[in-house]
Amino acid sequence: MLHVQERRRHERVVLVCPVVLRDKAGRTIFKGRTADMSPCGIKVIGPPPAAVSEGLDVWLDMKVPNPRSAGPRFRVVKLCGYIRRVTDMGDWKCVVVVITDADFPQSIFEPHP
C-alpha cells in the first residue's frame, strides 16, 4: 500500500462559498467560489477571464455561512494575501492564494451540524 506524507502545515477543509478577488486598487479581477481552505491558504475556482498572475497581492471577499444559529445566515469575510499559483482546470481557472492577513474566526474550520 502506498502512503503519502502530507507536507502541508495545516489540514485543508472543504468550504464552498462565493468569493471575489480584488487588486490593490480595489478592482475586481476574478469571481469564483472556494474549493477548500486552511488557515494559511485558499483555493478559488471560477470561469475565465481571470486577470490574475502569480505573485499578485490581492484582497478576497468571501461570503461564508454564519456558524451561529442566531443572526444573519452569512457574513462577508475579508482576507489579504498573494497569488501563489494559477492553473487551468478544464474550462475554469484555479487560483491558490496564500493568506497573509484575515479576519475570519477559527470556528469556520469546525464541522457544522
Q: Residue 64's closest CA among 15, 31, 13? A: 15
What's residue 105's pLDDT?
Answer: 54
Is residue 29 domain-resident? yes
User: CA nearest 38: which of 95, 104, 88?
Assistant: 104
Domain count, the chain: 1
Residue 86 belongs to domain spanning: 13-105
Q: 57 lies in a domain?
A: yes
| Structural domain includes residue 4 | no
Q: What is the residue-level pLDDT of the chain in tens, covering all 113 positions?
A: 554 455 666 677 788 899 999 998 889 999 999 999 888 899 999 998 778 999 999 999 998 887 777 778 888 888 899 999 999 999 999 999 999 986 655 555 555 44
Query: Both ends of the chain: CA-CA distance in Å?
Result: 34
Give the cell for residue 22. Answer: 480584488
pLDDT digits (tens, 9 = 90+) for 1-14: 554 455 666 677 78
Instruction: Give the per-residue pLDDT at 23.
Output: 92
CATH number for position 65: 2.40.10.220
